[in-house]
Structure 1
């Protein structure tokens, strides 16, 4: 296991040598600001590039048809008039920051609670909150793929699912009109990488070993997919 001596090295090795990274993070502090900034930026940047490329009038129409197709024409027109590139980008930026902080805080509470009884665990909520940004780093790979997809596009009527090229929605061509679109967008390949990183981190920070680390790491994501899928199926 290689020794990690600085946060820049940790950001590089988290993808391929996570054991050393989490071993270092167990004794180092204030390194998690870098993955936080990287993850947030990687989430926002593809949306910024996409909305400055896409035929916005076309996008606005398919969005309204998919989400507000059952309301009156006057109400649709009100939504249409309120939708601009600037407002969507503002909602994207604010939503990404607030949503990510909220979701990662919940994950941190979960990891803190399920590992609390372990004698080797000396980390508290803030440590696990920092932990969540490190395990979210695979999302940067997805963001890079999304940027490539947009950069290579020649048609400005580019399907918004291109923003999540590692999702089930993209891979199985689930359209925005489908009631399963949101769920399919939420099921992503990199989530399984995140689960792996979480399991590695748990094994480095606690005395928990073996399959139990993967079970602990996977529960939040599979629980979310299951509940979300159940709600979608019943709606």
Structure 2
């Protein structure tokens, strides 16, 4: 296991040698601020670029037609009238900032509670909160791919699924009118990567074996997606 000596090296190694990274951050303080800012930036940058690139009039009409098709023409026109580009951009950026912060806060609580049975584990809630930002680093890969796809597009009428190029919705071109669109958009390759990183991190921070760590890491995602799928089916 290679030694990790600084947080910037850790940000690189988290993709290739995560064991050493989680071992290092278990011993070091304040390293998690770096992935915090990286993940937040990677969460808001694609949305900013997309809204400034897309044909906004087309985007408004597409969104209203696919999401509010059951409303009357007057109600649809009212929604279109209230959708201004700056407002949509601010909303997407705020969601990109607050979404990961809230999600990681809940995930950290879950990890803190599920690892308390390990007597050797001395990490508290704030330690696990910092841990979650390292586990969220795969978003960098998805974001860079999304930016690359936007940059080579000539057509300004592109679906927002391009913001999540590793999602099932993008890969299989799931229509926004589909009842399964939200589910397909949430089912992403980087989520599986994050589950793997959480598994690795738990094995480094606790005495749990790989199997138990993997169950803890995967459980919330499997439960959420499983319940969501059942709700769609029934």
- What is the TM-score normalised by the length of structure 2? 0.97
Q: Give the deviation of 1:209 after TM superposition.
A: 1.1
Q: Give the deviation of 1:215 after TM superposition.
A: 1.0
Contact 2:54 2:156 in 1 (8 A): yes
Q: In structure 2, what is the Cα distance between the partners aligned to 1:75 and 1:56?
A: 19
Q: Give the deviation of 1:193 after TM superposition.
A: 0.9
CA deviation string 1:2-32 (max 9, x = no partner): 1111111110111001111000111111111
Q: In structure 2, what is the Cα distance between the partners aligned to 1:47 and 1:179?
A: 23
CA deviation string 1:139-159 (max 9, x = no partner): 110000000110111111112
Q: In structure 1, what is the Cα distance between the partners aligned to 2:152 and 2:168?
A: 21
What RMSD, in angstroms, separates the aligned Cα atoms of the two structures? 0.9
Q: Give the deviation of 1:73 after TM superposition.
A: 1.6
- What is the TM-score normalised by the length of structure 1? 0.97
Q: In structure 1, what is the Cα distance between the partners aligned to 2:62 and 2:82?
A: 15
**Which residue in the other structure is 1:54 paired with?**
54
> Is 2:73 the partner of 1:76?
no
Secondary structure of the residue that 1:52 maps to in structure 2?
helix
Secondary structure of the residue that 1:4 maps to in structure 2?
coil
After TM superposition, the structure 1 = structure 2 runs for residues 1-235 of structure 1, keeping only pairs within 5 Å, are 1-234=1-234
CA deviation string 1:151-196 (max 9, x = no partner): 1111111121111110000111101111111110000011111111
CA deviation string 1:77-130 (max 9, x = no partner): 111011122111111111122221111111001100110010111101111111
Q: Give the deviation of 1:233 after TM superposition.
A: 2.6
Secondary structure of the residue that 1:19 maps to in structure 2?
helix
Q: Give the deviation of 1:231 after TM superposition.
A: 2.1
Moved more, 151-160 or 132-141: 151-160
Q: In structure 2, what is the Cα distance between the partners aligned to 1:75 and 1:31?
A: 49
Contact 2:202 2:213 in 1 (8 A): yes
CA deviation string 1:14-70 (max 9, x = no partner): 100111100011111111111111111111111111111111111111100111111
Moved more, 191-200 or 71-80: 71-80
| Number of residues of Structure 1 aligned to a counterpart in Structure 2 | 234
Contact 2:47 2:93 in 1 (8 A): no
Query: Which structure 2 segments of 5+ residues have no match?
Result: none
Contact 2:32 2:133 in 1 (8 A): yes
Q: Give the deviation of 1:210 after TM superposition.
A: 2.1
